[in-house]
Amino acid sequence: MTPQQKITAYRTILTKEILRFGRIWIQTVIPPMITTALYFVIFGKLIGSQIGDMEGFRYMEFIIPGLIMMAVITNSYANVVSSFYSSKFQRHIEEMLVSPVPNYIIILGFVSGGVARGITCGVAVTFVSLLFSPLHIHNLTVIVSIIFLTAVLFSLAGLINAVYAKSFDDISIVPTFVLTPLTYLGGIFYSITMLPGFWQNASMANPILYMINAFRYGFLGVSDISLWASYGISLGFIAALYGYSLWLLRTGKGIRT
Amino acid sequence: MTAALTIRDLRKTYHNGHVALKGISLEVKQGDFFALLGPNGAGKTTAIGIVASLVNKTSGTVSIFGHDIDTDLTAAKSCIGLVPQEFNFNQFEPVEEIVANQAGYYGIARPEARQRTETCLNRLGLWEKRRGMARELSGGMKRRLMIARALVHEPKLLILDEPTAGVDIEIRRSMWAFLQEINANGTTIILTTHYLEEAERLCRNVAILDEGELIENTSTRRLLNTLRMETFVLDIGQPLAQLPAIPQHEVRLVDECTIEADISRDKSLNELFTDLSAHGIKVLSMRNKTNRLEQLFVGLLENNGNGR
């Protein structure tokens, strides 16, 4: 395929993915807005007013970056895992497998779809947050770059989950038992400096902590973690997951017999 | 001239140990209309899956228009259009999107993809349904949608895995006419089917697989010529209580209005009609008892120890 043909193939997959979640926007974009609004009301307004400041900011302001990031993580992951698994389940992944479109374009197409949904939901949640608190922006470049890297990382993770999944149960196990606990324990609602020494160290093994803190730095200018460590962890995971995804598609694991 | 498809010593053993292909070799010439026949589980779909890159082979080589699938997969894939046995499109996508997206996967830019989609859907009688969801189509329409999708990038080799399974006779015949037309225009076609009448009517060459082995690979005409005896069913004018003795022919009374006759290929049908006329038996109509290819097919399988 020529470079132009590859771009056409990539745009085809990306458009298909965006149309897919766009057609069912009530199931894909609205739920994170409602869930986050509830977090703002309960944790931000009701409980947060009793907590006081956190690292020099009102509790509501402190949790906004984490909640936006949570929407991005769960939605970018959910988009790719459900789309790729459905295409396996209904066997229309074969449309791509019989065509000359290279594996890396298939990965880029699905991942870009996940990024598109993750960021759409992140922006939607940001608008919801404006109903509760004004938004501080400390460093826009950090905000945009870290949200993009996080969406790419979790889209790749969703793709790998979908490749291995053999049933619809398999695509909900990782989000329920791994992703959600790591997200909640990744410092959305608290600073890890509040934790005892052992749990502070244990938290450092959670990659989501690095992303949430870098994102919070972009908004508030405060972080428990070095910004470069956050970028390093994100890029390292992306490289590893991309390489693994490419290998899975090349060997046909879960998609070719 | 380079063959459209060349398969050499192709083997496939699945992870569960099932040996689906035991080293088949065959060649399909450019422009051919080729039938791949065999009972269920013979390995037809596995062979097609390997050619179309949906199944990983265990060993052997496959080349499509001279492009080896191990070394030149992209070029090989560009030559193929596949119509699989099972519906494999997104049931929740509009018909025209399914076809246009397939063109996109082959790198065909959107404006041209739209034009080609219109042409293909029109040719297959689906243009009126273009905005509807694929799940709303009837079974026959879904089959035609898969053919439209396989043709949108104008493949040189079209592979159809039981394309007329479960469709009514009218649609089947219109599909036959359509396939004959695109074959006449230069597209090589490989067809698997359980309707042997379909293979006999459409295909110039035939390969028969059984239990992962190739047991026949020849022209349809040559295969039919090996048939030594044919059984004809004759509908007669007046009811007969008993058949008169006709020693020159193997004839029997099926019911009072129907006779069956086994005719050797070296005998003329005129002789049979002369003998029947001599006994005052008037024949109203005549047909083959079984499809000729079917008769051969069953015979070959029985010889291969797979009588069923």
Which pLDDT score, from 0 to 100, does residue B306 have? 57
Over residues A128-150, the mean pLDDT reads 91
Q: Are residues A163 and A253 in contact, defined by beta-carbon separation less than 8 angstroms?
A: yes
CB contact under 8 A, A12 and B90: no
Please report how the helices A103-130 and A227-251 are oriented relative to each other, as an axis angle in degrees rounded to 10: 140
Of B90, B102, B104, the CB nearest to A8: B104
Of A2, A92, A251, the CB nearest to B90: A92
- Secondary structure (3-state) at A252: coil
CB contact under 8 A, B77 and A2: no
Please report how the helices B169-184 and B139-151 are oriented relative to each other, as an axis angle in degrees rounded to 10: 10
Q: Residue B38 burial (CB < 10 Å; 0-12/13-18/19+)?
A: buried
Q: Residue B289 burial (CB < 10 Å; 0-12/13-18/19+)?
A: middle
- Chosen from B12, B67, B105, B135 to mutate, greatest number of chain A CBs within 10 A: B105
pTM listed for this prediction? 0.83
CB contact under 8 A, A102 and B74: yes
Which residues on chain B are in Cβ contact (under 8 Å) with A1? 74, 107
- Chosen from A5, A19, A99, A106 to mutate, greatest number of chain B CBs within 10 A: A99
Of A99, A251, A256, the CB nearest to B105: A99
Q: How many CB atoms lie within 10 A of CB A158?
A: 31
Of B74, B89, B109, the CB nearest to A8: B109
**What is the b/e burial string over A40-73, where b = at least 16 CB atoms within 10 angstroms of the residue's CB?**
beebbeeebeebeebeebbbbbbbbbbbbbbbbb
Which residues on chain B are in Cβ contact (under 8 Å) with A248? none
CB contact under 8 A, B107 and A96: no
Which pLDDT score, from 0 to 100, does residue B139 have? 85
Among B265, B146, B100, B141, residue whose Cα is nearest residue A19? B100
Interface subset of A 59-88, CB within 8 angstroms of B: 86-87
- Identify the H or E element spanning B24: strand B19-28
H helices, E strands: number in chain A: 13, 2
Which residues on chain A are in Cβ contact (under 8 Å) with B50? none
Q: Are residues A235 and A149 in contact, defined by beta-carbon separation less than 8 angstroms?
A: yes
Output the CA angle B152-B155-B159, nearest 5 degrees: 100
Among B234, B224, B241, residue whose Cα is nearest residue B284? B234
Q: How far is A12 from chain B (nearest CA, A)?
A: 6
Q: Which two tokens stand for residue B305?
A: 């120890």
Per-residue pLDDT tens over the stretch A155-186 = 999 999 999 999 888 988 888 898 888 888 88
- A250 interfaces chain B, CB cutoff of 8 Å: no
Of A4, A9, A86, the CB nearest to B105: A9
Q: Residue B301 burial (CB < 10 Å; 0-12/13-18/19+)?
A: buried
Inform me whether the pLDDT recorded for A143 exceeds 90: yes
Per-residue pLDDT tens over the stretch A75-89 = 999 999 999 999 999
- In one-letter notation, the amino acid at residue A101 is V
> Which is more confidently placed, A97 or A54?
A97
- A58 interfaces chain B, CB cutoff of 8 Å: no
Interface subset of B 136-155, CB within 8 angstroms of A: 149, 153
From first to last of its 308 residues, chain B has per-residue pLDDT tens of: 789 999 999 999 998 999 999 999 999 999 999 999 888 888 999 999 999 999 999 999 999 999 999 999 999 999 999 999 889 999 999 999 999 999 999 999 999 999 999 999 998 888 999 999 999 998 888 989 999 999 999 999 999 998 887 777 778 888 888 899 999 999 999 999 877 778 888 899 989 888 899 888 888 887 777 766 778 888 888 888 888 888 777 888 888 888 888 887 777 888 888 888 888 888 888 887 766 666 667 777 777 765 44
Q: Which residue of A has its CA nearest to B105?
A: A9
List all residues 6 or more positions away from B103 whose beta carbon is below 8 Å from its beta carbon: B112, B113, B116, B117, B152, B153
Which pLDDT score, from 0 to 100, does residue A147 have? 95
**Percent of chain A whose predicted confidence (pLDDT) is above 90:** 55
- A253 interfaces chain B, CB cutoff of 8 Å: no
Could you give the ipTM of this predicted complex? Answer: 0.86
Which residues on chain B are in Cβ contact (under 8 Å) with A250? none
Alpha helices (runs of H) in B52-190, residue ranges in sequence order: 73-78, 95-105, 110-123, 139-151, 169-184
Across the strands, what pairs with B187?
Answer: none
Per-residue pLDDT tens over the stretch A4-42 = 999 999 999 999 999 999 988 888 889 989 998 898 888
Output the CA angle B76-B80-B86, nearest 5 degrees: 130
- A141 interfaces chain B, CB cutoff of 8 Å: no
CB contact under 8 A, A16 and B101: yes
Which residues on chain B are in Cβ contact (under 8 Å) with A4? 107, 109
- B135 interfaces chain A, CB cutoff of 8 Å: no
DSSP A26-63: HHHTHHHHHHHHHHIIIIIIIIHHHH-EETTEEHHHHH
The whole-angstrom distance between residue B83's C-alpha and the CA centroid of its chain comes to: 12
CB contact under 8 A, A92 and B88: yes
Among A72, A76, A112, residue whose Cα is nearest residue A215? A72
Q: Which residue of B has its CA nearest to A250?
A: B56
Which residues on chain B are in Cβ contact (under 8 Å) with A22? none
Phi, psi for A247 (deg, rounded to 5): -65, -40
Which pLDDT score, from 0 to 100, does residue B86 have? 87
CB contact under 8 A, B97 and A256: no
- B104 interfaces chain A, CB cutoff of 8 Å: yes
Q: Which two tokens stand for residue B236?
A: 């007669």
Please report how the helices A103-130 and A3-23 are oriented relative to each other, as an axis angle in degrees rounded to 10: 40
Among A241, A243, A246, A217, residue whose Cα is nearest residue A57? A217
Which pLDDT score, from 0 to 100, does residue B290 have? 63
Of B56, B84, B106, the CB nearest to A94: B84
